Amino acid sequence: AELKVSSDLTLSGRLPEATLSGRVVLDEGTIRIPTIGERGEVAIVDAEVGEIGDDTIPDEVAGASPMAMLGGLRISALRVEVDEGVWLESEDARIQIRGDILVTRAGAEPRIFGDLEVVRGSYALRVGPLRREFDIERGLVQFYGTPDLVRFMSKSGVPHWTHTLSI
């Protein structure tokens, strides 16, 4: 992802079990999403957040990778505002989004609550040598705090996840 971000964050406590809270605004930029049918993991965390002095790192964390140090990080009511300048992009899609979500994490799995609205976009359906372009007029994705979002959304007939796309 390449994003212009502003924030007002508070990190309290000691690593590896510190608590993060506050507000993050995604002002503009692009979030790369996998193409439908594309396999593999998608890294959503790839950011340098600065250096932490040795005197603040407990011995059990010293020498651990940055992600291992953040593994016990608690997230308390982190509000993420997505402004209209943010786009989701893949090889087949370009989608403008906006909305507000609330992120919490007390254990291993983050919980996400809130709505992301699809403002507009386009999608190209490829079937063999054929390619059909669709305009996306609007949409809505609602998050209800499900612990494993990908597994949850991929199940059929689950009543707690709703979405609409008008093409």
Q: Torsions phi, psi of 72, nearest 5?
A: -95, 5
pLDDT category, 25, cuts 50, 70, 90? very high
Mean pLDDT along residues 87-103: 93
Least confident of 3-7, 64-68, 98-102: 64-68
Q: Please give the sequence-ordered ranges of beta strands (E in DSSP) within the chain, or none if there are none.
A: 2-12, 19-32, 74-89, 93-105, 111-127, 130-136, 138-144, 163-166
pTM, two decimal places = 0.66
Query: What is residue 166's predicted lDDT score, i.e. its pLDDT?
Result: 43
Q: For tokens 């992301």, name the residue.
A: 116
Alpha-carbon separation of residue 130 from 95, 125, 166 (angstroms): 22, 8, 22
- Cα 66–chain centre separation: 19
| Structure letter (DSSP) for residue 55 | G
Q: What is the pLDDT of residues 130-155, one digit of tens each?
A: 989 999 999 998 888 876 554 554 44
